[in-house]
A and B are shown apart, each in its own frame.
Chain A
Amino acid sequence: MPHDHHDHLSPSGHPYRPDDDHPLTYWQQMEIAVRELLIEKGVTTAAAINAQIEAMDARSPAHGAAVVARAWTDPDFRAALLEDASAATRAMGFDIGPMRLIALENTDTVHNIVVCTLCSCYPRNLLGLPPDWYKSRAYRSRTVKEPRKVLAEFGVSLPDTTTVRVHDSTADMRYVVIPHRPAGTDGWNADDLAALVTRDSMIGTGLAKSPDAA
C-alpha cells in the first residue's frame, strides 16, 4: 500500500486489517531454540521434522468418516471398533501412532459429546488438528455444565428421551463418536455414507448429514 491510513477501505470495500506482526513470544522462541539445537546436535533433522508436520497435516476428518461409514456397514468391524478402536482403525490401515482410542456409539436413546476440560486433548492422529472452538474456554467449561445448551447452539436439539453422555478426555484416552446413521440411507455403500459424516458429528457437537442435505 502506498500509504497506511487505518480509515482507508480496501478495493473490496472492507477496511484494511492491521498486520498481525508481533515479536516472538517466549514459548515460540523456546520452540525454535530447542528445534535448532536438536538439529545441530544430530538428534533429528529438519527433513524429519517437516515429514512429521506433513504427516499430521495429511490427517483429516475424512479418515474418521471412513471408519464411521465402515462401522455402519460392517457389523464385525463395528464390534471390533467398540471393543478396541485403536486396533480396529490400525487394522483398517490408518497410522494413528501410539494413540489410544475409544469409539462412542450414538443410538436412538444416547448422544455422546467429547470435551477436554483440562486442555485440548483430541484424536489428532485420526482426525487431524482440532477446530479452534474445541480449545476455547467457553466450550471446555460449558460442555460439562450445560451440554444441551451447547448442542442447541450447534443446531442440535435432542428430545428428553435421549440421554446426553459428556466425555471429559482427562488422561490417556482419545475419543471418536460414531454418529447415528441417518434415515433414508438403506443400501448405501460405505464411500457414499462417509460423505455424510462431518467432523462435528465425530466430536458429538453435530449429527451426520441427512441424505437430502448431502
Chain B
Amino acid sequence: MTDRQYMRVRADMPPGHVRTPGYLRGKIGWVERTLGPFPNPEQLAYGLNAQALPLMRVRFSMAEVWGDASETPTDTIDAEIYSHWLEPAEAPHAP
C-alpha cells in the first residue's frame, strides 16, 4: 500500500480524438499495472505516424472521482490512461 505510485490525470480539454475520459481528468489514482507500449491514439486516429507510449492502468477510488456524491467511497474505477496524460502526484487522501 505504501509503495503505490500515484498519478494525476492532466486536466486539459484538447479538441480531437482523445481516449482519456473527461470524468477522470484532474483526478489522482495509483498505477495498477503498466501495459504497452501502444501507439498514441491521438495521432493514430488521424493517420499520423503514432508514437509508442506506455499505457497505464490507473485505479481511482470512488471518493476521489465523485467526492461526497460517491455511492461507496472505497469502491474503485480502473481505466487505461496513456502516459503523456499522467504526472506524478501525492496521495489525494489517507489510503
Contacts and interface: CB of A to CB of B under 8 A. Distances in A.
Interface stretch (A162-170, A177-185, A188-196, A198-206): A162-170
Contacts of A163: 74-76
Interface string A19-56: 00000000000000000000000000000000000000
Contact of A173 (B35, B66, B76): B35
Nearest to A150: B71
Contact of A166 (B55, B57, B77, B81): B77
A145 B20 CA distance: 17
Contacts of A106: none
Contact of A145 (B59, B71, B74, B81): B71
Interface in B22-72: 23-24, 35-36, 38, 41, 55, 57, 59, 65-66, 69, 71-72
Contacts of B69: 145
A153 interface: no
Contact of B82 (A145, A148, A171): A171
A167 B75 contact: no
Contacts of B77: 144, 165-168
Contacts of A138: none
Contact of B23 (A117, A147, A160, A171): A117
Contacts of A145: 66, 69, 71
Contact of B71 (A100, A147, A173): A147
B90 to A, nearest CB: 23
A165 B41 CA distance: 25
B4 interface: no
Nearest to A149: B71
Contacts of A170: 19-21, 79-81
A213 B59 CA distance: 35
B87 interface: no
Given A171-B41, A172-B35, A166 B76 contact: yes
Interface in B1-26: 19-21, 23-24
Given A146-B71, A171-B38, 19 more contacts: A144-B65, A145-B66, A145-B71, A148-B72, A163-B75, A165-B59, A165-B75, A165-B77, A165-B78, A166-B76, A166-B78, A168-B77, A169-B80, A170-B79, A171-B80, A172-B35, A172-B38, A173-B35, A173-B57
Q: Which 4 A-B pairs have the closest CB atoms?
A: A171-B80, A168-B79, A164-B75, A166-B77
15 contacts: A117-B21, A117-B23, A118-B21, A144-B65, A144-B77, A147-B75, A163-B74, A165-B76, A165-B77, A168-B21, A168-B24, A170-B19, A171-B55, A172-B55, A173-B80
Interface of B: 19-21, 23-24, 35-36, 38, 41, 55, 57, 59, 65-66, 69, 71-72, 74-82
